[in-house]
Structure 1
Amino acid sequence: MTTTAVAAHPTSIAELFAQSAETARALAGAEQSAWNGHIIESSSVMLGLAHWDGTLYLDRESIVDPLRHLYEHAGATRPTPTLIAYRESLATLLHEHAHFLGPADATQEAAREAFTKLGSRQLEEGVTEAWAQDHLDDFIHRLGIDKVAPGIDSVRSNGYYAAFVPAVREITTALDARNGFPPGETLSVLNRQTAAGQFPLLVDAVYNSTRLPDLEPPDADTRSRLESILRSGLAHLETYELSPPDLATTNSLATANQVLSHLDHETHTAEATYTLSQPDPCVLPRPTRRIPSPHEAALSGLTPPSPARPSPTLSSTSHPSPSTHHHAHPRSSPPSRQPLARHG
């Protein structure tokens, strides 16, 4: 029987930084992290930055110093504001590491190019922040920080990107329900991708939640229309990025619902083009049997009557008009054939 070695919990900020990337990768279930192992303490308006070259930048005053303080006072009781400061620092650390995650064949070059496209930044930041908020407690427990800072898992912080996160949550939650996925599945799948892979997966989730995969041909352009709706809607969230959090949240949710409504309209319209009722082929009713009249039954099996002889009062050379002749002598079977009997 073999056992897997478990890394000891970090006891210093240096050990925390060394273990944080792999902890985030394992927590997300991603195949790789693009982090190059370097962390630079910065002093800017940005709390953290996952650079395209793989370097992680963290603000010294807001992020690094609280984490250093956390380990310098390991096990001590801390007031709520201090615990919140620790928690926000760890949330930023997890958020930035989530930016580096991707599949084995992902490259930062492709991710960077995709990030510049319409709606990509809003989706990528919204996914990263929402996932980090949802998994922060697990991140803290895996690193043993709940033992270093007792009570840290009992306080909460507000998080960031109020203009992006609510919309991303609303859309991914709806797609979970429509596809029969466990709650949070769509968000987690998107988080394991770089910006280059997120929109294709999101479009697939929308498309596969409908009947279209079984209805339309592979070369249909429905997917491109769905992507256009998603990109335009998510890009619109930038309008609310600098709004107060409550207002940004309200507008973000409203935008998400508009996007979902537009997607529904598009997919229902596409489905209708393949499911319109076709007219049934012309089917004649079955013939009904008519009961013959007594007169018809009496003639059954008898030789039809002979044509009437000309009246003696008429000249033998006179001829009735064609119309009179036609109506006076209905068509009958030849004398050699008996008429078919009608059976009731």
Structure 2
Amino acid sequence: MTITVAASAPTSVEELLAASGETARVLAAADQSAWNGQIVESSGAMLGLAHWDGTLYLDGETILDPLRHLYEHAGEKRLVSTLVRYRESLATLLHEHAHFLGPSDSTQEAAREGFVKPGSRELEEGVTEAWAQDHLDEYIHRLGVDKLAPGIESVPAGGYYAAFVPAVRKLTADLESRNDLPPGEVLNLLNRQTAAGQLPLLVTLVYNSTRLPDLEPTGADTRSRLESILRAGLDHLDTYELTAPGFATTKSLTTANQLLTHLHHEIAHAESAHTFAPIHPNEPAHTSTPTQPHESAHTLTPTQSAAPACTVNPIQPDEPTHTLTPTQPDEPTHTLTPTQPNKPAQPHPNACTLPPPTPNRSAHQVALSGLAPPTTASPSPQPHSPASRATPTPRPRGVPLHRVRSA
């Protein structure tokens, strides 16, 4: 179906879908949406899918049918279970529209290129889901659904991506604290970016929360090291995507804590390199010393070369001068996971990476990960660009159909 924007408040599911994209864009305060106005009713492994050609896929049975039922029984008293179905359908709708948002100069081509880089998918899905959860009630209110289904804002509902969302919330809350920003502000900023701009913005926020902009010369490579740490940590979250929600949540928080520790250690190391001046062993000590024998007790005299009084012991040539903690010869300094015994440390940037996950996924798990595009439910018409839909990117953005919801 092709959706045109409705001028009045939604009075049918068609008008609701027509207004859904612009309502999401205004709610997010984003410059633009890449949605092309087309919705394809689908059936398959995905609840919803924001395709790179701008088409929105929504599962007929799980998403569109509850919305049709909502308008067929407008104003009637509903069971809690029915209200939950409505709420989760609208949550998916908002989630998918959030994927289409971006700044005025963004393109889907650049977003697609950024999406496949390490850590980008995990960050985008985590940001999109966390932001959608936080703004769902306001979205429902702006669409007028709260008047059609009284009580929908008070029913409990879960969320998806338990392996990504807790880590994203932990990282963004830390940045808000370090940058003195209000709660939710970093999520808002990241949600207005495409996958091409989210991680670079995250690196900038981390870097600007330190003293390094005032300490480092232009061209320092600290930013690239911070980006490597962030990409490695976020990419590692993929390991837990198909695990049980409780386990995934725990591992997500653990990974985020390790990632923050690594970032803070790297920042402190970089700041110390520009904060403490090195001590040279051959420099004479410039100190006030006790008086020599037979001299007045209140006289300051230069120290004798043979007997300095309050000198700093020179640092031996083989000792590091500005380390935070000494490391053993065979141990890497900035890893999120320990190395095996007797295994030599790898040089940067590999020292800041986690081993890529290699889960053995069944064919069913592959479908849950979004490797296959959703099946268009007949008799729905095909979108205007069937050729581009025939070759979707691996791991497309969307909400999986049978993924167990997080708490």
Under TM normalisation by the shorter chain, which class is it?
0.7 to 0.9
Per the alignment, do residues 19 and 281 of structure 1 end up closer, same or farther by CA in structure 2, a change over 3 Å counting? farther
Q: Which residue of structure 1 lines up, in the alignment, with residue 260 of structure 2? A: 260
Q: Match for 2:276: what amino acid?
A: L
- The correspondence of residues 1-344 of structure 1 with structure 2, limited to 5 A, is 8-277=8-277, 283=286
Give 1 or 2: higher helix fraction: 1
Measure the CA separation in 1 of the matches of 2:157 and 2:252: 20
Per the alignment, do residues 285 and 244 of structure 1 end up closer, same or farther by CA in structure 2, a change over 3 Å counting? closer
What's the CA shift string for 1:185-243, capped at 9, x where partnerless? 11110000000000110001111111111101120000000000000000000110011
What's the CA shift string for 1:50-87, capped at 9, x where partnerless? 00000000000000000010011101110000000000
Measure the CA separation in 2 of the matches of 1:111 and 1:44: 25
Measure the CA separation in 2 of the matches of 1:169 and 1:144: 29
Measure the CA separation in 2 of the matches of 1:281 and 1:13: 83
Measure the CA separation in 2 of the matches of 1:183 and 1:248: 24
Measure the CA separation in 1 of the matches of 2:211 and 2:21: 40
Measure the CA separation in 2 of the matches of 1:180 and 1:7: 40
Q: Match for 2:244: what amino acid?
A: P
Shift of 1:285: 5.2
Per the alignment, do residues 251 and 19 of structure 1 end up closer, same or farther by CA in structure 2, a change over 3 Å counting? same
For structure 2, the 5+ residue unaligned runs are: 1-5, 297-407
Measure the CA separation in 2 of the matches of 1:173 and 1:218: 29
Per the alignment, do residues 35 and 283 of structure 1 end up closer, same or farther by CA in structure 2, a change over 3 Å counting? same
Measure the CA separation in 1 of the matches of 2:212 and 2:85: 48
Measure the CA separation in 1 of the matches of 2:17 and 2:61: 16
Measure the CA separation in 1 of the matches of 2:172 and 2:108: 25
Per the alignment, do residues 283 and 39 of structure 1 end up closer, same or farther by CA in structure 2, a change over 3 Å counting? same
Measure the CA separation in 1 of the matches of 2:177 and 2:134: 18
What's the CA shift string for 1:287-311, capped at 9, x where partnerless? 98967xxxxxxxxxxxxxxxxxxxx
Residue identity over aligned pairs, in percent, reads 70
Measure the CA separation in 2 of the matches of 1:96 and 1:284: 68
Per the alignment, do residues 221 and 78 of structure 1 end up closer, same or farther by CA in structure 2, a change over 3 Å counting? same
Per the alignment, do residues 94 and 283 of structure 1 end up closer, same or farther by CA in structure 2, a change over 3 Å counting? same
Measure the CA separation in 2 of the matches of 1:277 and 1:70: 69
Q: Match for 2:268: what amino acid?
A: H
Shift of 1:7: 5.3
Q: Which has the higher contact order (CA 8 A, sep 6+)?
A: 2
Shift of 1:8: 3.5
Shift of 1:261: 0.4
Q: Secondary structure at the match of 2:235?
A: helix
Measure the CA separation in 2 of the matches of 1:281 and 1:131: 60
Shift of 1:9: 2.3
Q: Match for 1:58: what amino acid?
A: L
For structure 1, the 5+ residue unaligned runs are: 1-5, 292-344
Measure the CA separation in 1 of the matches of 2:284 and 2:160: 62
Q: Match for 1:253: what amino acid?
A: L
Measure the CA separation in 2 of the matches of 1:146 and 1:7: 19
Q: Which residue of structure 2 lines up, in the alignment, with residue 313 of structure 1? A: none
Q: Which residue of structure 2 lines up, in the alignment, with residue 319 of structure 1? A: none
If the length of structure 2 is used for normalisation, what is the TM-score? 0.68
What's the CA shift string for 1:8-43, capped at 9, x where partnerless? 421111000110100000000000000000000001
What's the CA shift string for 1:269-292, capped at 9, x where partnerless? 00010111455986475998967x
Per the alignment, do residues 287 and 231 of structure 1 end up closer, same or farther by CA in structure 2, a change over 3 Å counting? closer
Larger Rg: 1
If the length of structure 1 is used for normalisation, what is the TM-score? 0.80
Q: Secondary structure at the match of 1:71?
A: helix
Q: Secondary structure at the match of 2:274?
A: helix
What's the C-alpha RMSD, in Å, of the aligned pairs? 1.8
Measure the CA separation in 1 of the matches of 2:128 and 2:183: 16
Q: Choose 133-142 or 278-287, whichever is displaced more.
A: 278-287
Shift of 1:156: 1.9
Measure the CA separation in 2 of the matches of 1:190 and 1:183: 13
Measure the CA separation in 1 of the matches of 2:95 and 2:202: 20
Measure the CA separation in 2 of the matches of 1:19 and 1:84: 21
Per the alignment, do residues 284 and 88 of structure 1 end up closer, same or farther by CA in structure 2, a change over 3 Å counting? closer
Per the alignment, do residues 148 and 255 of structure 1 end up closer, same or farther by CA in structure 2, a change over 3 Å counting? same
Q: Which residue of structure 2 lines up, in the alignment, with residue 3 of structure 1? A: none
Q: Which residue of structure 2 lines up, in the alignment, with residue 340 of structure 1? A: none
